[in-house]
Amino acid sequence: MFRLILPDPEVYEVDLLNSDDDTLVKISQNLGLNLNLDEMKRVKDYFRKKGRNPTDIELQSLGQAWSEHCCYKSSKYYLKKYLLGFKADYVISTTDDAGVVEFDEDHAYVVAFESHNHPSAIEPYGGAATGIGGILRDVVCMGAQPVALIDPLFFGDPETRRDEIPKGVKHPLYLLGGVVAGIRDYGNRVGIPTVAGMVFFDSSYLTNCLVNVGCVGIVRKDSIIPSRVGGAGELIILAGGATGRDGIHGVTFASAELDEKSEEESRGAVQLGNPIMKEPLMHACLEAVEKKLVSGMKDLGGGGLSGAVGEMSLAGNCGVEVWLDKVHLKEERMKPWEIWISESQERMLLSVKPVHVDEVLYIFSKWDVPARIIGVTTDDKKLRVYWRENLIYDMDIEFVSAGVEYCRNYSVEKHEAGGEDDVFDLGNYEETILRMLSHPNVASKEWVVRQYDHEVRANTVLKPLQGRIGFETHGDAAIIKPTDSMRGIAITADVNPWMVSADPFWGSASSFDEMIRNLIAVNSIPHTFVDCLNFGNPEKPDRMGEFVESVKALGWMSKEFGIPVVSGNVSFYNETPYGSIAPTPSLIGIGIAEDIRKCVSSEFKKQGTALILVGETEKEFGGSLYSRINGIQTFNVPKTDPESLKKYSNAMLKAFNQFGILACHDVSMGGIAVSLAEMAFGSGFGFEVSLKDFVELFSESNTRWIVEIDERDAVSFIEFMTEMGCRAEKIGVTGGERLDYGIASLEFDIAEEKWRTGLAGYLG
């Protein structure tokens, strides 16, 4: 089956041509390729036509390129069909490692979003840290300076008892602590602020946590670098950290379910980050870009050299020769296939014209960053890899990089949404509100946020914590000032997995609605979004059905509302023998704040001002906090309509310009009960409103905001919104020492204590 053809270092020929189906499967298993029988047959046919057997490095390359993580073989059919059709003329690129979008006349912003789920479940500190490292590289390789990081995180129930933890699984609180520490240490050390994100707990994440990481950067339009070579005859430079055995089979590991053996068997697939190398690497890359010395650049992420070299060359309509023995190594006697597919961190690939090579190498030397010439582009579409004078890899790039595509079968479980009798008024409003405020999905995330330096670079003009110093509440979105102008970038991260679980279509649409609401709440214009679509095993029709319904909803909302998705990620196989995660299409929304001096925060500003509810409240409790804490099962997830959302959004933006709106906060988890409390906690005083029933108090209907405005402007504001075809009503006033909802009243200090300690109480 295996014949040694190069003894030092070892390269083997693999006998595919004489292998039957069972042997093909065994070869895939023995080499860790994670390719199924049909895929192995396709590889066999390719080499039969070439009249030879493959080498082990060629097969390993195909295992990486054809993994779910790299080629999106289960998702790209539906992504193209439902989500990726809408374009906007201000979008510059959606086909590179990150989305590139016009920011102003001279600048573009760059945004990327990825998952690092499986590595973080195995080694939370290193998995999360290298997730941050990877997303930074995705932005830098476009020639952009990173300006903000975003981290949506999802863990099992923090109250899980130790004896309920399956073998090979870590406790949610251990994972939370390790993940936050990894993001903290990496982000703080490279000096990029973490300004937005979310932390969500649900029992479905017990055996498979999710760590999603996003990054936003800024670049001059004339300095944007594509993720492709510039033509034949260019030299390929590998810069950054040394290549080692860490991260081998990272993408194939991420393209399979976790099990109790993953803790031991897959630890080597987790990369080792080094932020001390990353910072000078970023500086060196950006200096080379600024001096117009680089034709193309790509980070070494999934698949390592195997993925980056092929994709970069194919995108430039070229081939490439690589001299693998020139690669700088961490350890001796690495096999060629290990070098080729290693996902060791802090590495960038640059395509440089010969005339600029010496200057580029000097720049990296000046920054004390290793950089070596490892190859040259050619005028064919062949990828050839040499070890000294020995040709050990020779394949058509299009065959390797095109991958496979499946139109997988799927099924959609339809639930009766139910009627008015599904959800009951259970009374005990005060107790219910306190339970909501202390729930870890609602309670203050200060324990997390304070560990991140969200103000480094001094450009975070609207911070994730807002309000009185030392007693802040959380905001709907952060705003970064990336240039010398007063124009800003608003950033929010949103998804409600409970709603998506109850109804994948309407839950995903609701998550989009919340993303828009958060951008509007700070007085920014929704501009683009990116997604990280986390789902279970796509080979199971019900899991695939959740994905398809979610993509349909996001595509519908995107096109009808009018903002495009410009980049994203699909993470499948978030599943173990104990079950699948809740379907989690996490979103990052980007808005444009035309004048950062006019941005609005969430906390009350004055006592005696009017509180206006904008939007319409319905009896919709599917996936709500009220249903969850009371053990009610209902699938009547809040509905939304993109045309109505756009109408309300435009009206709100006009109102910000016409009225002196003091504070604004969207209504989401926990309904008005939680939204008003959060606004109060940031101000230090309470409110008095008049709500009629539990629906008005706890409903999580979409497209709603609470607006604080001077009493003298309240009538005019309501009249204006009515003229715009929107519903708005005064519900009360700010002030006092209680949270007075009319049908419930709480002491301010007691409620605030519940909210501030709800998560921190688990962490000591």
235 plus 268 within the same structural domain = yes
pLDDT value at 557 more than 90: yes
> Per the domain annotation, does 577 fall within a domain?
no
> How far is it, in rounded angstroms, from Cα 229 to Cα 673?
55
> How far is it, in rounded angstroms, from Cα 219 to Cα 139?
10
pLDDT value at 254 more than 70: no
pLDDT value at 542 more than 90: yes
pLDDT value at 158 more than 80: yes
Predicted confidence (pLDDT) per residue in 465-514, tens digit: 999 999 999 999 999 999 999 999 999 999 999 999 999 999 999 999 99
44 plus 144 within the same structural domain = no
344 plus 451 within the same structural domain = no
State the pLDDT at residue 711.
Answer: 97
pLDDT value at 700 more than 60: yes
> Per the domain annotation, does 163 fall within a domain?
yes
Taking alpha carbons only, the member of 277, 149, 137 closest to residue 211 is 149
Read off the pLDDT band of 268 (50, 70, 90): low
pLDDT (average), residues 615-622: 96
Total-model pTM? 0.96
State the pLDDT at residue 262.
Answer: 56
Is the distance from CB of 165 to CB of 255 less than 8 angstroms?
no
Identify the CATH number of the domain in which residue 59 sits: 1.10.8.750
What is the percent of the chain with per-residue pLDDT over 70, rounded to a whole number?
A: 96
| Domain around 55 | 2-68
Q: Write phi, then psi, for 610 (nearest 5 degrees).
A: -85, 145
Q: Write phi, then psi, for 486 (nearest 5 degrees).
A: -90, 10
State the pLDDT at residue 256.
Answer: 61
Read off the pLDDT band of 261 (50, 70, 90): low
| Domain-terminating residue out of 68, 97, 118 | 68
Read off the pLDDT band of 272 (50, 70, 90): confident
Look up residue 584 and give its amino acid. Answer: T
pLDDT (average), residues 308-328: 95
Number of structural domains (the chain) is 3
| Domain-terminating residue out of 39, 68, 97 | 68
pLDDT value at 105 more than 80: yes
State the pLDDT at residue 255.
Answer: 53
State the pLDDT at residue 311.
Answer: 92
pLDDT value at 250 more than 70: no
pLDDT value at 260 more than 70: no
> Which whole-number Å values give the CA distances from 422 to 265, 341, 413, 497, in the listed order?
47, 53, 19, 20
Dig out the tokens for 358 from the structure. 């010496």
- Assess whether 69 carries a catalytic annotation: yes
Identify the CATH number of the domain in which residue 331 sits: 3.90.650.10
Read off the pLDDT band of 263 (50, 70, 90): low
> Per the domain annotation, does 413 fall within a domain?
no
Read off the pLDDT band of 264 (50, 70, 90): low
Distance in angstroms between the alpha carbons of the first and the last residue of the chain: 56
The residue count of the chain comes to 764
pLDDT (average), residues 283-295: 97
Query: Which are the contacts of 239, defined by CB distance < 8 A and separation ≥ 6?
Result: 281, 284, 285, 347, 348, 349, 350, 364, 369, 370, 371, 372
Q: What is the DSSP letter of 81?
A: I
Predicted confidence (pLDDT) per residue in 86-103, tens digit: 989 999 999 888 999 999
Predicted confidence (pLDDT) per residue in 324-364, tens digit: 999 999 988 899 999 999 999 999 999 999 999 999 999 99
Is the distance from CB of 706 to CB of 612 less than 8 angstroms?
yes
> Per the domain annotation, does 310 fall within a domain?
yes
> How far is it, in rounded angstroms, from Cα 583 to Cα 511?
12
| Domain-terminating residue out of 15, 45, 68 | 68
pLDDT value at 580 more than 70: yes
pLDDT value at 379 more than 80: yes
252 plus 291 within the same structural domain = yes
HEC assignment per residue over 626-688:
HHHHCCCCCCCCCCCCHHHHHHHHHHHHHHHHHCCCCEEEECCCCHHHHHHHHHHHCCCCCEE
370 plus 435 within the same structural domain = no
Tokens 């990353």 correspond to 278
233 plus 351 within the same structural domain = yes
State the pLDDT at residue 279.
Answer: 93
313 plus 398 within the same structural domain = yes
59 plus 84 within the same structural domain = no
Predicted confidence (pLDDT) per residue in 432-476, tens digit: 999 999 999 999 999 999 999 999 999 999 999 999 999 999 999
pLDDT (average), residues 645-653: 98
> How far is it, in rounded angstroms, from Cα 585 to Cα 3?
46
> How far is it, in rounded angstroms, from Cα 63 to Cα 33?
4
Q: Write phi, then psi, for 590 (nearest 5 degrees).
A: -115, 130
84 plus 15 within the same structural domain = no
What is the spatial order of strands in the sheet that 235-240 belongs to? Answer: 296-299, 347-352, 235-240, 371-378, 319-323, 382-387, 390-396
643 plus 522 within the same structural domain = yes
Mean pLDDT, all residues of the chain:
94
> What pairs with residue 517 in β-bridges?
none
Dig out the tokens for 394 from the structure. 């020779």
Read off the pLDDT band of 398 (50, 70, 90): very high
State the pLDDT at residue 258.
Answer: 66
> How far is it, in rounded angstroms, from Cα 98 to Cα 563?
17
Secondary element (H or E) of residue 284: helix 275-290
205 plus 58 within the same structural domain = no
> Per the domain annotation, does 420 fall within a domain?
no
> Per the domain annotation, does 408 fall within a domain?
no
Given 69, 118, 356, 439, the catalytic residue: 69
> Per the domain annotation, does 707 fall within a domain?
yes
Query: Which are the contacts of 745, defined by CB distance < 8 A and separation ≥ 6?
Result: 430, 738, 739
Taking alpha carbons only, the member of 670, 612, 616 closest to residue 639 is 616
Read off the pLDDT band of 271 (50, 70, 90): confident
699 plus 612 within the same structural domain = yes
Query: Is there a cis peptide before residue 193, judged by omega within 30 degrees of 0?
Result: no
- Assess whether 474 carries a catalytic annotation: no
> Per the domain annotation, does 696 fall within a domain?
yes
Predicted confidence (pLDDT) per residue in 159-215, tens digit: 999 999 999 899 999 999 999 999 999 999 999 999 999 999 999 999 999 999 999
Reduced to 3 states, what is the DSSP secondary structure of residue 196?
strand
Tokens 């214009």 correspond to 525
pLDDT value at 742 more than 60: yes
Taking alpha carbons only, the member of 444, 439, 430, 443 closest to residue 746 is 430
pLDDT (average), residues 32-39: 93
Given 116, 356, 454, 474, the catalytic residue: 116
- The greatest distance separating any two alpha carbons of the chain, rounded to the nearest whole angstrom, comes to 86
> How far is it, in rounded angstroms, from Cα 530 to Cα 585?
10
State the pLDDT at residue 417.
Answer: 56
